[in-house]
A = this chain, B = another copy of it.
Protein backbone atom coordinates (compact mmCIF):
# COMPACT_ATOMS: atom_id res chain seq x y z
CA UNK A 1 0.00 0.00 0.00
CA UNK A 2 1.68 3.18 -1.17
CA UNK A 3 1.48 6.50 0.63
CA UNK A 4 3.65 9.57 1.36
CA UNK A 5 2.96 11.93 4.25
CA UNK A 6 4.71 15.06 5.45
CA UNK A 7 5.23 15.27 9.23
CA UNK A 8 2.63 18.07 9.16
CA UNK A 9 0.03 15.75 7.65
CA UNK A 10 0.72 13.21 10.39
CA UNK A 11 0.12 15.85 13.06
CA UNK A 12 -3.11 16.70 11.28
CA UNK A 13 -4.28 13.06 11.28
CA UNK A 14 -3.55 12.77 15.01
CA UNK A 15 -4.93 16.15 16.02
CA UNK A 16 -2.44 16.29 18.93
CA UNK A 17 1.26 15.89 19.75
CA UNK A 18 4.46 17.93 20.20
CA UNK A 19 7.29 17.75 17.66
CA UNK A 20 11.01 18.14 18.26
CA UNK A 21 13.56 18.27 15.44
CA UNK A 22 12.92 18.29 11.71
CA UNK A 23 13.34 16.11 8.63
CA UNK A 24 13.34 16.51 4.88
CA UNK A 25 11.97 12.99 4.36
CA UNK A 26 8.37 12.19 3.61
CA UNK A 27 6.96 9.23 5.50
CA UNK A 28 6.56 6.38 3.00
CA UNK A 29 6.66 3.39 5.35
CA UNK A 30 6.10 2.17 8.91
CA UNK A 31 8.54 -0.08 10.72
CA UNK A 32 9.70 -1.16 14.17
CA UNK A 33 12.49 0.89 15.77
CA UNK A 34 15.27 -1.54 14.90
CA UNK A 35 14.15 -2.16 11.32
CA UNK A 36 13.19 1.39 10.32
CA UNK A 37 15.05 3.20 7.53
CA UNK A 38 15.01 6.88 6.55
CA UNK A 39 11.50 7.59 5.23
CA UNK A 40 9.88 5.33 7.85
CA UNK A 41 7.70 6.27 10.77
CA UNK A 42 8.36 4.26 13.95
CA UNK A 43 7.04 4.24 17.51
CA UNK A 44 7.82 3.26 21.07
CA UNK A 45 4.81 1.12 22.01
CA UNK A 46 6.45 -0.70 24.91
CA UNK A 47 8.96 0.95 27.24
CA UNK A 48 11.20 -2.12 27.25
CA UNK A 49 12.39 -1.07 23.78
CA UNK A 50 13.28 2.50 24.87
CA UNK A 51 17.01 1.95 24.33
CA UNK A 52 16.33 1.39 20.62
CA UNK A 53 15.02 4.95 20.20
CA UNK A 54 18.49 6.54 20.10
CA UNK A 55 19.61 4.00 17.45
CA UNK A 56 16.64 4.06 15.12
CA UNK A 57 17.00 5.42 11.57
CA UNK A 58 13.29 6.29 11.36
CA UNK A 59 12.51 9.80 10.11
CA UNK A 60 9.58 10.24 12.49
CA UNK A 61 9.34 8.54 15.91
CA UNK A 62 6.12 8.48 17.98
CA UNK A 63 7.02 8.64 21.68
CA UNK A 64 5.20 8.91 25.00
CA UNK A 65 4.70 12.44 26.40
CA UNK A 66 7.35 12.00 29.06
CA UNK A 67 10.08 10.41 26.94
CA UNK A 68 13.51 11.83 27.75
CA UNK A 69 15.91 12.30 24.82
CA UNK A 70 16.44 14.22 21.60
CA UNK A 71 16.19 13.39 17.91
CA UNK A 72 19.18 12.88 15.61
CA UNK A 73 19.81 15.02 12.60
CA UNK A 74 17.09 14.82 9.93
CA UNK A 75 14.71 13.15 12.42
CA UNK A 76 11.54 14.20 14.25
CA UNK A 77 10.38 13.05 17.69
CA UNK A 78 6.61 13.32 18.05
CA UNK A 79 5.51 13.13 21.70
CA UNK A 80 1.91 12.06 22.25
CA UNK A 81 -0.27 10.56 25.00
CA UNK A 82 -0.30 7.01 23.55
CA UNK A 83 2.07 6.12 20.69
CA UNK A 84 0.24 2.79 20.10
CA UNK A 85 -3.12 4.49 19.64
CA UNK A 86 -1.55 7.18 17.52
CA UNK A 87 -0.08 4.48 15.27
CA UNK A 88 -3.47 2.76 15.07
CA UNK A 89 -5.07 6.05 13.98
CA UNK A 90 -2.46 6.55 11.28
CA UNK A 91 -2.91 2.96 10.06
CA UNK A 92 -6.69 3.40 9.96
CA UNK A 93 -6.21 6.54 7.94
CA UNK A 94 -3.97 4.69 5.48
CA UNK A 95 -6.40 1.77 5.32
CA UNK A 96 -9.22 4.14 4.39
CA UNK A 97 -7.13 6.00 1.83
CA UNK A 98 -6.03 2.79 0.10
CA UNK A 99 -9.41 0.97 0.37
CA UNK A 100 -10.59 -0.56 -2.89
CA UNK A 101 -13.69 -2.55 -1.98
CA UNK A 102 -16.65 -3.05 -4.30
CA UNK A 103 -18.74 -0.03 -5.21
CA UNK A 104 -21.97 0.74 -3.36
CA UNK A 105 -24.86 -1.20 -4.89
CA UNK A 106 -25.19 -4.70 -6.31
CA UNK A 107 -22.60 -5.91 -8.83
CA UNK A 108 -24.09 -7.15 -12.11
CA UNK A 109 -22.59 -10.59 -11.64
CA UNK A 110 -24.03 -11.15 -8.13
CA UNK A 111 -27.00 -13.49 -7.78
CA UNK A 112 -29.43 -11.82 -5.39
CA UNK A 113 -32.91 -13.13 -4.65
CA UNK A 114 -35.61 -10.52 -5.31
CA UNK A 115 -36.95 -10.98 -1.77
CA UNK A 116 -33.63 -9.89 -0.20
CA UNK A 117 -33.74 -6.50 1.54
CA UNK A 118 -30.49 -4.70 0.81
CA UNK A 119 -29.84 -1.21 2.08
CA UNK A 120 -28.98 1.19 -0.76
CA UNK A 121 -25.71 2.07 0.99
CA UNK A 122 -24.57 -1.57 1.14
CA UNK A 123 -22.12 -3.10 -1.38
CA UNK A 124 -22.70 -6.55 -2.85
CA UNK A 125 -19.53 -7.45 -4.77
CA UNK A 126 -18.98 -9.60 -7.85
CA UNK A 127 -20.19 -13.21 -7.89
CA UNK A 128 -21.82 -13.04 -4.46
CA UNK A 129 -24.95 -15.11 -3.77
CA UNK A 130 -27.63 -13.62 -1.51
CA UNK A 131 -30.60 -15.92 -0.92
CA UNK A 132 -34.25 -15.17 -0.17
CA UNK A 133 -35.61 -13.29 2.83
CA UNK A 134 -32.19 -11.94 3.81
CA UNK A 135 -31.53 -8.49 5.19
CA UNK A 136 -28.29 -6.56 4.60
CA UNK A 137 -27.87 -3.36 6.64
CA UNK A 138 -26.53 0.09 5.73
CA UNK A 139 -22.87 0.40 4.84
CA UNK A 140 -22.30 -3.35 4.95
CA UNK A 141 -19.80 -4.63 2.38
CA UNK A 142 -19.77 -8.10 0.85
CA UNK A 143 -16.57 -8.43 -1.16
CA UNK A 144 -16.44 -10.95 -3.97
CA UNK A 145 -17.86 -14.51 -3.97
CA UNK A 146 -19.58 -14.26 -0.57
CA UNK A 147 -22.58 -16.50 0.24
CA UNK A 148 -25.49 -15.35 2.42
CA UNK A 149 -28.08 -18.06 3.08
CA UNK A 150 -31.84 -17.92 3.37
CA UNK A 151 -33.33 -15.60 6.04
CA UNK A 152 -29.95 -14.50 7.40
CA UNK A 153 -29.64 -10.93 8.66
CA UNK A 154 -26.59 -8.66 8.72
CA UNK A 155 -26.49 -5.36 10.57
CA UNK A 156 -24.78 -2.14 9.56
CA UNK A 157 -21.16 -1.53 8.53
CA UNK A 158 -20.19 -5.21 8.46
CA UNK A 159 -17.31 -6.26 6.24
CA UNK A 160 -17.28 -9.74 4.72
CA UNK A 161 -14.15 -10.67 2.78
CA UNK A 162 -14.08 -12.88 -0.32
CA UNK A 163 -15.30 -16.49 0.02
CA UNK A 164 -17.14 -16.02 3.32
CA UNK A 165 -20.12 -18.35 3.86
CA UNK A 166 -22.94 -17.37 6.20
CA UNK A 167 -25.53 -20.16 6.01
CA UNK A 168 -29.28 -19.74 6.50
CA UNK A 169 -31.14 -18.24 9.48
CA UNK A 170 -28.12 -16.60 11.14
CA UNK A 171 -28.09 -13.20 12.81
CA UNK A 172 -25.05 -10.92 12.47
CA UNK A 173 -24.87 -7.61 14.39
CA UNK A 174 -23.19 -4.31 13.45
CA UNK A 175 -19.56 -3.70 12.51
CA UNK A 176 -18.82 -7.43 12.33
CA UNK A 177 -15.77 -8.41 10.24
CA UNK A 178 -15.55 -11.90 8.76
CA UNK A 179 -12.33 -12.84 6.99
CA UNK A 180 -12.00 -15.01 3.91
CA UNK A 181 -13.08 -18.60 4.18
CA UNK A 182 -15.08 -18.15 7.39
CA UNK A 183 -18.03 -20.54 7.62
CA UNK A 184 -20.88 -19.42 9.87
CA UNK A 185 -23.73 -21.87 10.37
CA UNK A 186 -22.28 -25.23 9.38
CA UNK A 187 -24.00 -28.18 11.06
CA UNK A 188 -22.93 -29.16 14.58
CA UNK A 189 -21.26 -32.56 15.00
CA UNK A 190 -24.14 -34.46 16.58
CA UNK A 191 -25.04 -38.12 16.07
CA UNK A 192 -26.89 -40.82 17.96
CA UNK A 193 -25.14 -44.15 17.60
CA UNK A 194 -27.51 -47.07 17.12
CA UNK A 195 -26.15 -50.53 16.50
CA UNK A 196 -22.81 -49.05 15.47
CA UNK A 197 -24.23 -46.60 12.94
CA UNK A 198 -24.22 -42.85 13.51
CA UNK A 199 -27.68 -41.33 12.97
CA UNK A 200 -27.55 -37.61 12.28
CA UNK A 201 -29.19 -35.33 14.82
CA UNK A 202 -30.47 -32.50 12.63
CA UNK A 203 -29.00 -29.14 13.55
CA UNK A 204 -31.77 -26.57 13.24
CA UNK A 205 -30.59 -23.77 15.52
CA UNK A 206 -28.76 -20.67 14.38
CA UNK A 207 -25.58 -18.66 14.98
CA UNK A 208 -25.81 -15.19 16.51
CA UNK A 209 -22.81 -12.88 16.23
CA UNK A 210 -23.07 -9.74 18.32
CA UNK A 211 -21.73 -6.26 17.48
CA UNK A 212 -18.04 -5.52 16.89
CA UNK A 213 -16.96 -9.15 16.57
CA UNK A 214 -14.09 -10.01 14.23
CA UNK A 215 -13.51 -13.57 13.03
CA UNK A 216 -10.32 -14.75 11.30
CA UNK A 217 -9.83 -16.61 8.07
CA UNK A 218 -11.15 -20.17 7.66
CA UNK A 219 -12.84 -20.29 11.10
CA UNK A 220 -15.89 -22.53 11.51
CA UNK A 221 -18.87 -21.65 13.70
CA UNK A 222 -21.45 -24.42 13.88
CA UNK A 223 -25.14 -23.67 14.16
CA UNK A 224 -26.89 -24.88 17.31
CA UNK A 225 -28.60 -28.25 17.46
CA UNK A 226 -31.54 -26.08 18.44
CA UNK A 227 -31.64 -22.58 19.98
CA UNK A 228 -28.33 -20.78 19.26
CA UNK A 229 -24.56 -20.59 19.13
CA UNK A 230 -23.56 -17.07 20.21
CA UNK A 231 -20.41 -14.93 20.00
CA UNK A 232 -20.52 -12.07 22.50
CA UNK A 233 -20.02 -8.40 21.68
CA UNK A 234 -16.49 -7.28 20.91
CA UNK A 235 -15.03 -10.80 20.93
CA UNK A 236 -12.13 -11.29 18.53
CA UNK A 237 -11.33 -14.70 17.01
CA UNK A 238 -8.11 -15.53 15.18
CA UNK A 239 -7.79 -17.82 12.12
CA UNK A 240 -8.75 -21.51 11.89
CA UNK A 241 -10.69 -21.61 15.16
CA UNK A 242 -13.47 -24.16 15.68
CA UNK A 243 -16.62 -23.09 17.56
CA UNK A 244 -18.92 -26.07 18.23
CA UNK A 245 -22.71 -26.07 18.29
CA UNK A 246 -24.41 -24.22 21.15
CA UNK A 247 -21.16 -22.65 22.33
CA UNK A 248 -21.74 -19.25 23.94
CA UNK A 249 -18.88 -16.80 24.45
CA UNK A 250 -19.13 -13.72 26.62
CA UNK A 251 -18.15 -10.20 25.64
CA UNK A 252 -14.65 -9.06 24.68
CA UNK A 253 -13.01 -12.48 24.65
CA UNK A 254 -9.86 -13.21 22.63
CA UNK A 255 -9.55 -16.63 21.02
CA UNK A 256 -6.20 -17.32 19.38
CA UNK A 257 -5.58 -19.31 16.21
CA UNK A 258 -6.45 -23.00 15.90
CA UNK A 259 -8.23 -23.22 19.26
CA UNK A 260 -11.28 -25.46 19.39
CA UNK A 261 -14.31 -25.17 21.68
CA UNK A 262 -16.62 -28.18 21.81
CA UNK A 263 -20.39 -28.14 21.88
CA UNK A 264 -22.38 -26.32 24.59
CA UNK A 265 -19.32 -24.98 26.40
CA UNK A 266 -19.74 -21.40 27.62
CA UNK A 267 -17.16 -18.66 28.13
CA UNK A 268 -17.66 -15.70 30.45
CA UNK A 269 -16.54 -12.18 29.53
CA UNK A 270 -12.92 -11.20 28.84
CA UNK A 271 -11.70 -14.79 28.57
CA UNK A 272 -8.38 -15.27 26.74
CA UNK A 273 -7.99 -18.60 24.98
CA UNK A 274 -4.46 -19.38 23.74
CA UNK A 275 -3.54 -20.85 20.39
CA UNK A 276 -4.36 -24.54 19.76
CA UNK A 277 -6.27 -24.84 23.04
CA UNK A 278 -8.92 -27.56 23.10
CA UNK A 279 -11.99 -27.62 25.33
CA UNK A 280 -14.38 -30.50 25.87
CA UNK A 281 -18.08 -29.83 25.62
CA UNK A 282 -20.57 -28.78 28.31
CA UNK A 283 -18.12 -26.92 30.58
CA UNK A 284 -18.11 -23.35 31.91
CA UNK A 285 -15.07 -21.06 31.66
CA UNK A 286 -15.37 -18.22 34.18
CA UNK A 287 -15.01 -14.56 33.22
CA UNK A 288 -11.51 -13.17 33.08
CA UNK A 289 -9.91 -16.62 32.80
CA UNK A 290 -6.86 -17.25 30.71
CA UNK A 291 -6.10 -20.59 29.05
CA UNK A 292 -2.45 -21.16 28.05
CA UNK A 293 -1.60 -22.19 24.50
CA UNK A 294 -2.14 -25.89 23.63
CA UNK A 295 -3.93 -26.57 26.93
CA UNK A 296 -6.70 -29.17 27.01
CA UNK A 297 -9.54 -28.09 29.29
CA UNK A 298 -11.82 -30.87 30.54
CA UNK A 299 -13.64 -29.26 33.49
CA UNK A 300 -15.15 -25.97 34.64
CA UNK A 301 -12.68 -23.13 35.20
CA UNK A 302 -13.19 -20.57 37.99
CA UNK A 303 -13.40 -16.90 37.02
CA UNK A 304 -10.01 -15.18 36.91
CA UNK A 305 -8.03 -18.44 36.70
CA UNK A 306 -4.91 -18.96 34.61
CA UNK A 307 -4.56 -22.60 33.56
CA UNK A 308 -2.45 -24.62 31.16
CA UNK A 309 -1.33 -28.20 30.25
CA UNK A 310 -3.48 -31.21 29.27
CA UNK A 311 -5.61 -31.77 31.26
CA UNK A 312 -5.46 -28.11 32.28
CA UNK A 313 -4.70 -26.96 35.84
CA UNK A 314 -3.08 -23.98 37.58
CA UNK A 315 -0.49 -22.29 35.36
CA UNK A 316 1.92 -21.63 38.25
CA UNK A 317 1.69 -25.20 39.51
CA UNK A 318 2.11 -26.55 35.97
CA UNK A 319 5.27 -24.50 35.47
CA UNK A 320 6.72 -25.82 38.75
CA UNK A 321 5.92 -29.40 37.88
CA UNK A 322 7.41 -28.93 34.43
CA UNK A 323 10.71 -27.98 36.08
CA UNK A 324 10.58 -31.02 38.37
CA UNK A 325 9.68 -33.29 35.44
CA UNK A 326 12.90 -32.32 33.74
CA UNK A 327 14.81 -33.23 36.92
CA UNK A 328 13.43 -36.81 36.89
CA UNK A 329 16.72 -38.34 35.65
CA UNK A 330 18.41 -36.88 38.73
CA UNK A 331 15.59 -38.03 41.04
CA UNK A 332 15.79 -41.61 39.77
CA UNK A 333 19.55 -41.56 40.49
CA UNK A 334 19.04 -40.17 43.99
CA UNK A 335 16.49 -42.86 44.82
CA UNK A 336 18.79 -45.60 43.48
CA UNK A 337 21.58 -44.14 45.59
CA UNK A 338 19.36 -44.13 48.68
CA UNK A 339 18.39 -47.74 48.06
CA UNK A 340 22.04 -48.69 47.96
CA UNK A 341 22.83 -46.83 51.16
CA UNK A 342 19.83 -48.23 53.03
CA UNK A 343 20.58 -51.69 51.74
CA UNK A 344 24.13 -51.38 53.04
CA UNK A 345 23.06 -50.30 56.51
- Would you give the 0/1 interface string for A215-237, flagging 1 where the beta carbon is closer than 8 Å to chain B? 01110101001110000001010
Residues of chain A in range 155-211 having any CB-CB distance to chain B below 8 Å: 161-163, 165, 167-169, 177, 179-181, 183, 186-187, 189, 191-192, 194, 196-204, 206
Contact B197 A252 (CB under 8 A): yes
In the complex the two chains form, is A270's CB within 8 Å of B196's CB? yes
A133 to chain B, nearest CB (A): 8
Do A313 and B325 form a contact, CB below 8 Å, given A94-B204, A163-B147, A342-B341?
Answer: no
Most buried by B among A151, A201, A225, A276: A276
When distances are taken between beta carbons in the complex, the residues of chain B under 8 Å from A321 are 325-326, 328-329
B214 touches A200 (CB 8 A): yes
A328–B313 Cα gap in the complex (Å)?
A: 15
Query: In the complex, which residues of chain B have a beta carbon less than 8 angstroms from the beta carbon of A262?
Result: 256-257, 275
- Which of A6-14, A27-35, A66-74 forms contacts with chain B? A27-35
Tell me, rounded to whole Å, the shortest Cβ–Cβ distance linking A252 to chain B.
6
Judged by a CB distance under 8 angstroms, whether A47 is at the interface is no
Q: How distant is the Cα of A21 from the Cα of B275 in the complex, in angstroms?
A: 51
Question: Contacting chain B: which of A83-91, A116-124, A299-307?
Answer: A83-91
Assess the B254–A198 pair: CB atoms within 8 A: yes
Q: Are B35 and A234 in contact (CB under 8 A)?
A: no
Whether the Cβ atoms of A227 and B150 lie closer than 8 Å is: no
Q: Which of A199, A217, A326 has the most CB of B within 10 A?
A: A217
- Minimum Cβ distance to chain B for residue A214 (Å): 7
Contact check, A239 vs B186: say whether CB atoms are below 8 A apart: yes
How many Å lie between the Cα of A102 and that of B60 in the bound state? 49
Q: Which residues of B contact A180 (CB under 8 A)?
A: 147, 165, 167, 183, 186
Q: Are A278 and B278 closer than 8 Å at their CB atoms?
A: no
The answer on a CB contact under 8 Å between B201 and A91 is yes
Knowing A35-B227, A244-B257, A335-B331, the reply to whether A161 touches B165 (Cβ < 8 A) is yes
Chain A positions within 8 Å of B, measured between CB atoms, are 1, 29-31, 35, 84-85, 87-88, 91-92, 94-95, 98, 100, 107, 109, 111, 125-127, 129, 131-132, 143-145, 147, 149-151, 161-163, 165, 167-169, 177, 179-181, 183, 186-187, 189, 191-192, 194, 196-204, 206, 214, 216-218, 220, 222, 225-227, 234, 236, 238-240, 242, 244, 252, 254, 256-258, 260, 262, 270, 275-276, 278, 280, 293-294, 296, 310-311, 313, 317, 320-322, 324-329, 331-332, 334-335, 338-339, 341-342, 345
